């Protein structure tokens, strides 16, 4: 967290954008995971999720910041992980993410500057171009990185989501409150 505070404090625009975020939308493969997909001989799919990323998402939800997933693939693993984390907004099999994004804004009564999005591939660009805080991961396609306001230090599937969660909590002055659950116990 200390190193990240230095990075964030050097990026006033990122902090200003993050301060407005009321909903974080995530791609799944290549953001919440390292992008690898394991399919065994029986055709059963597996993905590896970072538990610290998951805890960061729970911290966001407890702080009143909504979380949604929009992914191009369909997977029971994603549905299960979202259920475990308490994420109610899950859209799978979405090839064109923009209409889904616009639907979310309408349903939640949000403006684009109130949304953060984390993506890694070219299908994420239409949404990244519209949100208030566009985030890419280090392994993102180089074209995607051009549309990001912020690129995480942590890698995809290995703390990148947690980094974004902490950025939002910090920027919205919710960090101390979120941490009090642990430090005052």
Would you place residue 181 in the very low, low, confident or very high pLDDT band (cuts 50, 70, 90)? confident
Tens of pLDDT, residues 140-161? 999 999 999 999 999 999 999 9
CATH of the domain at 6: 3.40.50.1000
Strand 38-39 to strand 45-46: parallel, antiparallel, or no bridges (unpaired)? antiparallel
* Range 126-150 average pLDDT: 96
Note the pTM of the prediction, 2 decimals: 0.94
C-alpha R_g of the chain: 16
Q: How far apart are CA 98 and CA 103, in angstroms?
A: 9
Provide the residue count of the chain. 185
What local confidence, expressed as pLDDT, does residue 2 receive? Answer: 47
What local confidence, expressed as pLDDT, does residue 8 receive? Answer: 60
Would you place residue 108 in the very low, low, confident or very high pLDDT band (cuts 50, 70, 90)? very high
* Range 34-56 average pLDDT: 93
Query: Above 50 in pLDDT, residue 10?
Result: yes
Residue 120 lies in a domain: yes
* Range 15-43 average pLDDT: 95
Residue 44 lies in a domain: yes
User: Count of domains in the chain?
Assistant: 1
Residue 38 lies in a domain: yes
Residue 184 lies in a domain: no
Residue 146 lies in a domain: yes
Q: Tokens 């953001």 correspond to what residue?
A: 31
CB-CB contact of 45 with 77 (8 Å): yes
Closest of 32, 28, 88, 41 to residue 61, by C-alpha: 88
Average per-residue pLDDT in the chain? 93
Of the chain, the percentage scoring pLDDT greater than 90 comes to: 86
Closest of 127, 171, 176, 178 to residue 13, by C-alpha: 171
Q: What is the residue range of 33's domain?
A: 2-178
Query: Above 60 in pLDDT, residue 40?
Result: yes
Residue 104 lies in a domain: yes
CA 13 to chain centre: 19
Residue 183 lies in a domain: no
Tens of pLDDT, residues 52-63? 999 999 999 999
What local confidence, expressed as pLDDT, does residue 11 receive? Answer: 80
* Range 30-56 average pLDDT: 94
Residue 185 lies in a domain: no
Give the per-residue SS3 of 89-125: EEECCCCCHHHHHHHHHHHHCCCHHHEEEEECCHHHH
Q: How far apart are CA 59 and CA 175, in angstroms?
A: 9
Closest of 161, 85, 98 to residue 124, by C-alpha: 98
């Amino acid at each position: 967290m200390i190193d990240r505070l230095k990075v964030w404090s050097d990026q006033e625009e990122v902090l200003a954008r993050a301060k407005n975020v009321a909903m974080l939308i995530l791609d799944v493969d290549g953001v919440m995971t390292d992008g690898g997909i394991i399919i065994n001989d029986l055709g059963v799919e597996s993905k590896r999720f970072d538990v610290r990323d998951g805890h960061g998402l729970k911290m966001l939800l407890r702080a009143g910041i909504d979380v949604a997933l929009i992914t191009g693939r369909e997977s029971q693993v994603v549905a299960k992980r979202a259920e475990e984390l308490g994420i109610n907004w899950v859209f799978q099999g979405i090839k064109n993410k923009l209409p889904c994004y616009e639907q979310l804004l309408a349903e939640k009564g949000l403006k684009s500057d109130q949304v953060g999005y984390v993506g890694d591939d070219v299908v994420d660009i239409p949404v990244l171009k519209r949100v208030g805080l566009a985030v890419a991961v280090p392994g993102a396609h180089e074209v995607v990185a051009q549309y990001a306001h912020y690129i995480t230090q942590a890698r995809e599937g290995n703390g990148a989501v947690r980094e974004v969660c902490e950025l939002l909590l910090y920027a919205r002055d919710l960090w101390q409150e979120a941490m009090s659950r642990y430090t005052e116990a």
